[in-house]
Structure 1
Amino acid sequence: MESVARGGTRWRRFAVVMVPGVAATAAIGVAVAQGALAASFSVSGQQFKVSADRLEGDGFAQYGGMDVESDGKTGHAVAVSSFDDAKLYNMCQSVVTPNVPLVGTITLKLSAGTKKDQPAVAHNLYVDLDDLSGEATFEDIDIGVAAGAKTRGPALAKNTPTGGFAQQARKATIEDVKQTAWATTAGTFKLSGLHMSLHKGVKECY
């Protein structure tokens, strides 16, 4: 059974169907079919929101997976979006933690790349998400290719498990990005103009 390394994490082959709704301004969805769907990443169990005015990514690939919480019993179907390199303009990330003793609900909020000429920059970026919206443009896109296949784009050949449904593009640009994610990993992530703050109550990015 073949596997692929992702940031030191071993991936097992899985059976998954991903249903992309791709047009000039479409979001991308994922549906999981019956079958063996192996864990792709271990997560804390808290979702977080990420927004950006614009995301520019090279070497884009997307495929299905499942994140498993630390209890080993709770899983979340995700669409794994990966980029060889990505720039995020005016990026915001927020995570809400409810029921903090003596305080109540707390929102941790992070911003970066707020200056026009200094975006947040990531290399070998992976985002495990279950909701994404924005105005998307893909260049040299392949839809419905086999994950792990050696097609004209470089991303799938090195980043994905083998055999499942996947898509890739040489370049992806998404305006007005709004996504809900379970995990984000990157080889490097440069956060220009980083600012992190705590807020009482719910104060999310969107």
Structure 2
Amino acid sequence: MVHHAGRTCWRRFAAVLIPGIAASAALAIAMAQGALAASFFISGQRFQVTADTLTIRGFSLYGTVDVPKKGSPVPVLVVGARHATIRGLCQSVVVEVPVLGPQTFKLTGGNERPAKATSMFIDATSESVGQANFRGVDIGVAQGAITKGPVNPGDRDSRFFDPNGVGQQAVSATLTNVRVTAVAVSAGTFNIPGLHEQVMQGRHACF
């Protein structure tokens, strides 16, 4: 049975809202279970990710192109981490819902105890960092020659991956006040203490 409140059809509301937040909700569950595939179609929905501190052992940075399930390919900058420790994690996506207006799905965690991830990749369209400290850094290394940090197997096999393209790698990196607009995040494992998820009326993005 379909329930109505005024002229709002809740089945239609769910049909609109759920695909928009699926990139975040399914992502959190899949990463927590370590079940996210190395190569996958992206939704194309951009979302925000912030961290007070992101500490990485085995850092990589390279460019490629992600392919949405529908729509045009999206050029991205991929941040790779063999091991990552995240303090003050926030992830959000804003979805426009007919009649109800903008709805924000927000995920937070890693405050009292840091979140930890392995084989993590952030596919970003933009990113900013308040302070970046690198150890054993190589800037201008060929993407196909990156060894200190990981390269997503799905990216390496992609026709958009240029092994001669410019990349960066480091033994370790510590990034503070991290702000990223991303289209995809994947990880082999992702442990998030104090995980909290909520849907809020209006625009309440992480930044």
| TM-score normalised per structure 1 | 0.74
> Cα deviations across residues 129-187 of structure 1 (Å, max 9, x unaligned)?
01111111111000111112166x25469896333221100001101111110000000
> Cα deviations across residues 14-60 of structure 1 (Å, max 9, x unaligned)?
xxxxxxxxxxxxxxxxxxxxxxxxxxx52112100011110000100
Letter in 2 for 1:128: D
1:64 alignment counterpart? 63
Bigger Rg, structure 1 or 2: 2
Letter in 2 for 1:204: A
Give the unaligned 5+ runs of structure 2.
Answer: 1-35, 157-162
Off by >4 Å, runs of 4+ in structure 1: 156-160
1:139 alignment counterpart? 135
Relative to structure 1, the CA distance from residue 139 to residue 160 in structure 2 (aligned partners, 3 Å threshold; closer, same or farther) is farther
Relative to structure 1, the CA distance from residue 54 to residue 148 in structure 2 (aligned partners, 3 Å threshold; closer, same or farther) is same
Secondary structure in 2 matching 1:148:
helix
Letter in 2 for 1:108: F
2:128 maps to 1:129: no
User: Within 1, Cα distance between the matches of 2:196 and 2:64?
Assistant: 31
User: Which of residues 85, 89, 96 is equivalent to 2:94?
Assistant: 96
Mapping 1:24-173, distance limit 5 Å: 42-71=41-70, 73-98=71-96, 100-115=97-112, 118-134=113-129, 135-149=131-145, 153=148, 155=150, 161=156, 162-173=163-174
Relative to structure 1, the CA distance from residue 46 to residue 94 in structure 2 (aligned partners, 3 Å threshold; closer, same or farther) is same
Contact 2:146 / 2:169 at 8 angstroms: preserved in 1?
no
Superposed CA RMSD in Å reads 2.1
Letter in 2 for 1:80: V
Shift of 1:101: 3.3
Contact 1:60 / 1:169 at 8 angstroms: preserved in 2?
yes
- Percent of aligned positions that are identical: 39
Give the unaligned 5+ runs of structure 1.
Answer: 1-5, 10-40
How many aligned residue pairs are there?
165
| TM-score normalised per structure 2 | 0.74
Contact 1:50 / 1:179 at 8 angstroms: preserved in 2?
yes
User: Within 2, Cα distance between the matches of 1:157 and 1:127?
Assistant: 10
